[in-house]
Amino acid sequence: MTTDTLKMLGSAPMRYFNKRFEGFREDFSNINLQELAKSIVIPCVAFSIFLLIWAAAASQVNTSLGKLPGPARVWEQAMVLVDEHNEERGKEQRFYERQEKRNALKLAEDPNAEVKIRTYTGKPTFFDQIWTSLVTVATGFFIASLFAIPIGIVCGLSPVLYQAFNPLIQIFKPVSPLAWLPIVTMIVSAVYVANDPMFEKSYLNSAITVTLCCIWPTIINTTVGVSNISKDLLNVSQVLRLGWWTRVTKIVLPSSIPMMFAGLRVSLGIGWMVLIAAEMLAQNPGLGKFVWDEFQNGSSNSLARIMVAVFAIGLVGFMLDRLMLQLQKKVSWDKNAVLR
């Protein structure tokens, strides 16, 4: 079983690369080929070893839900989740087609007839849950950055404000999302009482919890970045008598961008981790809820499906980090800096 999986995972990309590089082979010097091989082969080998160990170890562990799933079963469940998603999409499409037909008929009979347009309310699929989580984390992270960057800048510029904010930052920074969540939930349900809410309460709960947990690294890093601006550049700004705004935009912001982005990346990572926990605990829609539902469901496939979620969470987290890295490269003035 294991070897099958390996073949399945391994052969497709390798074939692709072989085809891709066959034509180039003559043009590339040996060194290039070697480096290429290194950068592709080493990670592949390491990953294969990981899969082997996993497969071997998993078969040794018996749980109440059967044997711990190995890579093959997890892959299988991943495919099942894809199928379920496509099926659900099909259902949804048929639902809307039917509704449209019905309404068209009604209007043909009586042009003034009131037509009902209902939205489809099927069960959210795995991919719907990923999307929900992404939107939620983006919201929480965006709100956090909106506050954290200006706070960080003023704290870095003014020692007085730093002294004022620092105790608060230090106290709230280590608080776990699980502690914030009840408070946030209570406040949101007390304050947010619109009749026709634009956002779901659960979405707000998760997003705000993410904000509260991921705001701190950005504040701290921005503060450090701003307060560590080279003395020489500040002297230049003094000699030129730059105004506050010019100083911030021409000197403070560019020179603190590396630190700021380091903070933003940590923040986004924390936000993503926190979100999953918050969704699990509060039963808010998203990947966390998916994991919790599967856990409660307790079917023989549950563990494999949870593992698919684990990989999805990891991959999304990784992609979010790469996204921030690209953004950082884009706005960074120092194109030679090695960013990882």
Per rule CB under 8 A, is residue 242 in the interface with another protein?
yes
Q: CB of 336: closest distance to another protein in angstroms?
A: 7
Q: CB of 293: closest distance to another protein in angstroms?
A: 49
Per rule CB under 8 A, is residue 86 in the interface with another protein?
no
> Does residue 165 sit in helix, strand or coil?
helix
Give the interface size with another protein as a residue count (CB under 8 A): 18
The single-letter DSSP state of residue 197 is: -
Per rule CB under 8 A, is residue 250 in the interface with another protein?
yes
Q: CB of 227: closest distance to another protein in angstroms?
A: 18
Segment (H or E) for 63: strand 62-63
Site string for another protein, 173-212 (x = CB under 8 A): ----------------------------------------
Which of 221, 255, 256, 301: binder of another protein (CB under 8 A)?
255
Alpha carbon distance 333, 221 (integer Å): 18
Alpha carbon distance 155, 170 (integer Å): 14
How far is the CA of 45 from the CAs of 226, 273, 290, 315, in angstroms? 43, 28, 32, 19
Find out whether 50 and 10 touch, Cβ atoms under 8 Å. Answer: no
Q: CB of 239: closest distance to another protein in angstroms?
A: 5
Q: Tokens in use for 233?
A: 């550049």
Contacts of 272 (CB under 8 A, 6+ apart): 137, 313, 316, 317, 320
> How many Cβ atoms from other residues are within 10 Å of residue 318's Cβ?
12
Alpha carbon distance 278, 284 (integer Å): 7
Token look-up 């074939």 returns 15
Query: Judged by CB under 8 A, which stretch of 82-90, 103-111, 204-212, 240-248 contacts another protein?
Result: 240-248
Q: CB of 255: closest distance to another protein in angstroms?
A: 8
> Does residue 66 sit in helix, strand or coil?
strand
Q: Closer CB to another protein, residue 97 or residue 334? A: 334
Q: CB of 249: closest distance to another protein in angstroms?
A: 11
Per rule CB under 8 A, is residue 119 in the interface with another protein?
no
Which of 61, 104, 113, 240: binder of another protein (CB under 8 A)?
240
The distance in angstroms from the start CA to the end CA of the chain is 36
Alpha carbon distance 220, 268 (integer Å): 14
Segment (H or E) for 139: helix 126-157
Per rule CB under 8 A, is residue 11 in the interface with another protein?
no
Which of 111, 123, 333, 338: binder of another protein (CB under 8 A)?
333
Q: Closer CB to another protein, residue 178 or residue 233? A: 233
Alpha carbon distance 216, 176 (integer Å): 12
Q: Tokens in use for 332?
A: 């960074």
Which of 144, 208, 251, 291: binder of another protein (CB under 8 A)?
251
Q: Closer CB to another protein, residue 201 or residue 250? A: 250
Site string for another protein, 277-316 (x = CB under 8 A): ----------------------------------------
Find out whether 174 and 217 touch, Cβ atoms under 8 Å. Answer: no
Q: Closer CB to another protein, residue 188 or residue 251? A: 251
Which of 238, 283, 297, 300: binder of another protein (CB under 8 A)?
238
Q: CB of 259: closest distance to another protein in angstroms?
A: 14
Per rule CB under 8 A, is residue 235 in the interface with another protein?
yes
Token look-up 């994991």 returns 291
**Positions in the binding site for another protein (CB under 8 A):** 230, 232-233, 235-236, 238-242, 246, 250-251, 254-255, 333-334, 336
